[in-house]
Amino acid sequence: MLWLKAFHIISMVSWFAGLFYLPRFFVYHTRHPSGATHDQFCEMERKLYRYIMNPAMVATALTGVFLAGSAWGYTGSQGWFWIKMVLVAALFGFHFWCGSTVVGFAQGKNTRPEKFFRVANEFPTLILIGSVILAVVRPL
């Protein structure tokens, strides 16, 4: 069980690294709507999303399901767990929004300003803080 928990934490850290980094790419990408720099950003965003973030998200979800299931008699009845699941669902939503934004930039359809992405970049931080507090402190 400890190995599973270790892999869950490793995959979660990898996923969050991408969730922190990709919106930062978007911030800088807004400054280059076309040209060679735009093409380079498109490639970096696509590779980060496809080859790092997606596998890390899947690994986090799978290990999380197994961890929750292994102690379902306890976790299923805990309020903190269900609030954490709402935060995880929001994180999935943010992940897929990032994916659609990658496509939008690649198609030259981004209409959002740099400041929007600077604010969006803070969302995963708030989710991380809430999730860690719920998982470690278990306040409810």
- Give the domain ranges of the chain: 2-137
Structure confidence at residue 124 (pLDDT): 97
Find the mean pLDDT for residues 23-50: 97
**Residue-level length of the chain:** 140
Structure confidence at residue 140 (pLDDT): 78
Tens of pLDDT, residue by residue over 73-98, are 999 999 999 999 999 999 999 999 99
Nearest to 87 by CA among 55, 53, 60: 60
